C-alpha cells in the first residue's frame, strides 16, 4: 500500500531537549516536504527536498533541520525545541516534475513543547 509513515503520532517534550520526527515513504517519490499546521494559519512549509542530498528552506524554517540521506526518508530535527514549536506536523511526498501530481501526506505528529 502506498503510504507516508510518520512517527511518533504524539509527542510531549520539554524545552531544549532535542527530538527527531521520522518520515518514510514507499512510493519512490523524489519530492518530500514538512509542514506545520496551526489554527487560523493553515499549512506552512518548513523544509523541502527535491531529491537525495538536496534540501531547502520553506516558509518557516527557523528552529528546524532536515536531512535526506536516502530517497525514502526525510526526518525533521528540532535541536532545541521551544514552546512556539508546539504544533501539528505533516510530512508529504510526491513525484517531482509533474504538474498534476498528487501529494501524499502522513498521519501527522502532534508535538507539545512544555
Partner 1 sequence: GDSVTQMEGPVTLSEEAFLTINCTYTATGYPSLFWYVQYPGEGLQLLLKATKADDKGSNKGFEATYRKETTSFHLEKGSVQVSDSAVYFCALGDRGSTLGRLYFGRGTQLTVWP
- Given the rule CB under 8 A, which residues bind partner 1? 4, 30-31, 33, 35, 40-43, 45, 48, 50, 56, 90, 92, 94-103, 105-108
- Tell me how crowded residue 35 is: count the other CB atoms within 10 A of its CB: 24
Rank residues 19 and 47 by Cβ distance to partner 1 and give the closer one.
47
Q: Which is nearer to partner 1, 71 or 96 (CB)?
A: 96
Strand order across the beta sheet in which 19-25 lies: 4-7, 19-25, 76-78, 65-66
Closest separation in Å from C-beta 92 to partner 1? 8
Centroid of chain to Cα 1 = 20
Question: What does the DSSP 8-state code read for residue 9?
Answer: S
Nearer to partner 1, 45 or 112 (CB): 45
Please state the closest distance from residue 10 (CB atom) to partner 1, in A.
11
**Closest distance of CB 17 from partner 1, Å:** 26
CA nearest 87: which of 109, 64, 65, 57? Answer: 109
Tell the smallest beta-carbon distance from residue 39 to partner 1 (Å): 9
Of 99 and 114, which has the nearer Cβ to partner 1? 99
Contact 55, 66 (CB under 8 A): yes
Amino acid at each position: 500500500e502506498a503510504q507516508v509513515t510518520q512517527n511518533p503520532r504524539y509527542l510531549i517534550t520539554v524545552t531544549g531537549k532535542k527530538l527527531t520526527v521520522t518520515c518514510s515513504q514507499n512510493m519512490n517519490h523524489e519530492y518530500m516536504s514538512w509542514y506545520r499546521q496551526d489554527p487560523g494559519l493553515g499549512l506552512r512549509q518548513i523544509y523541502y527536498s527535491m531529491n537525495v542530498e538536496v534540501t531547502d528552506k520553506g516558509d518557516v524554517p527557523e528552529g528546524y533541520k532536515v536531512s535526506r540521506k536516502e530517497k525514502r526518508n526525510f526526518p525533521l530535527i528540532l535541536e532545541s525545541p521551544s514552546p512556539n514549536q508546539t504544533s501539528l506536523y505533516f510530512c508529504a511526498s510526491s513525484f517531482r516534475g509533474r504538474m498534476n501530481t498528487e501529494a501524499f501526506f502522513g498521519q501527522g505528529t502532534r508535538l507539545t513543547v512544555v
